[in-house]
Amino acid sequence: MGNRVAIVGIGHSKFGKRNDVSLNELAWEAIKAALDDSGLSQKDISFMSVGNFGYWSEEILPAVTVAEYAGIKCGSLRTEAACSSGSAALKIAYDHITSGSGKIAMAMGLEKMYNSPNSTIIELIGRAGNYFWEFENFGLTFPGYYALYATRYLHDFGYSEEDLCEAPVKAHHYGSKNKYAQFQKEITVEECMKSKYVARPLKIYDSSPITDGAAAVILASEDIARKINDTPVYIKGLGNATGSSYLGKRDDFTGLEAGRRAAEIAYKSAGISDPKNSFDLLEVHDCFSIAEVMAYEDLGIASKGKGLNMLKEHQTYHDGKFPVNPDGGLKAKGHPIGATGISQAVEITKQLRNEADPGRQVSINRGMALQHNIGGTGHYAYVTIYSRGD
């Protein structure tokens, strides 16, 4: 057998304001579910990586405290790549297996953002941009960063704010069908347009929320994956790239260059030449409405300037040609920063297993899916490609 790596267990907590549990207890919700799903126990895990942005919650060394609380006695590591910390944790667990260091590893992500006041959270997220030039001198926070992209995109390609509201309408439609989602109520374009501006032209409904949550996946080497789970989901390709944190050094404000490079690397590693005809679904990083639209184009499933047309025509709904974020995405499911990348992997695994909730399950024909996870304003980009075991 080769040295491929498969997901053999998944777990997910309820996302939202989780003041009912501590950080360690929240992590255990996802870890226990992943162990139960795989039929494995704590002693089977040879390494655990924990995606966590931190600073706002009670534990700043969560890999240590979570492992101890969960009864997992192995090497552990906290990973940070801003909003793509979960995908970074997944890659480290993947590398642990492909390097031959072990056969079973856990990657998880978690965040307790509500432990701190909103003003502190907003400042800490803002510091994930270019602190000196943009946050300290000009007061840019993350809605402001993405508002610059939205303004340029709407101007260059002739769209309106109403068109952009199609993204949160779709997100809330699927959030209403996902029991783990933070927001489970549908909205209309009209409601989106009436919501308050956060950074013009982005409104509250264009923006992902503050979220507490955890998610976990268990990875296994190919030679034992089918002994653990009869529906393993393999990691077929990985790509990651880093971009400048300084927006003044960027030439394009209608896409993210690091995201495009990460996709190119992932496609090459997976042997994919035609992304428009390769995937049953995509999980993309929709921290703001414009981020989802740009992702379509950066990943090559939409031509430049045509991403919003795909939304308006419902091509990216679960029964469309390009299903995107049938779990509600970051916008409605929630965005617990360190957990987001792992949550995307959990959803893709469910979908490829045909285990998603009614009204969200996509048609699995090609047996392949893509995950796109961005950190910061494009500082980090991770693209991961999955294939069903059969």
- Active-site entry in 12, 96, 172, 335: 335
Residue 205: which of 220, 215, 195, 214 has the closest Cα? 195
Q: Around 241, how many Cα atoms within 13 Å sit in the side-chain half-sphere?
A: 18
372 in catalytic set: no
At residue 349, φ and ψ (nearest 5 deg) are -60, -45
12 in catalytic set: no
For tokens 């089918």, the residue is 226
Q: Which DSSP string do the residues of 269-285 spell out, in sequence order?
A: HHT-S-GGGT-SEEE--
* Cβ within 8 Å of residue 277, ≥6 positions away: none
CB atoms < 10 A from the CB of 139, how many? 9
Which helix (H) or strand (E) covers residue 371, if one does? strand 368-375
Residue 352: which of 389, 316, 388 has the closest Cα? 388
Are the C-beta atoms of residues 271 and 238 closer than 8 Å to each other?
no
Cα 251 to chain centroid distance, Å, stands at 25
Are the C-beta atoms of residues 176 and 327 closer than 8 Å to each other?
no
User: What are the helix (H) ranges across the chain?
Assistant: 23-38, 62-70, 85-98, 118-126, 137-138, 142-157, 161-164, 166-175, 189-194, 222-228, 257-270, 289-298, 307-312, 329-332, 340-352
* Cβ within 8 Å of residue 21, ≥6 positions away: 29
- Active-site entry in 83, 165, 192, 287: 83
Tokens of 285: 């990083």
Q: Which residues are catalytic?
A: 83, 335
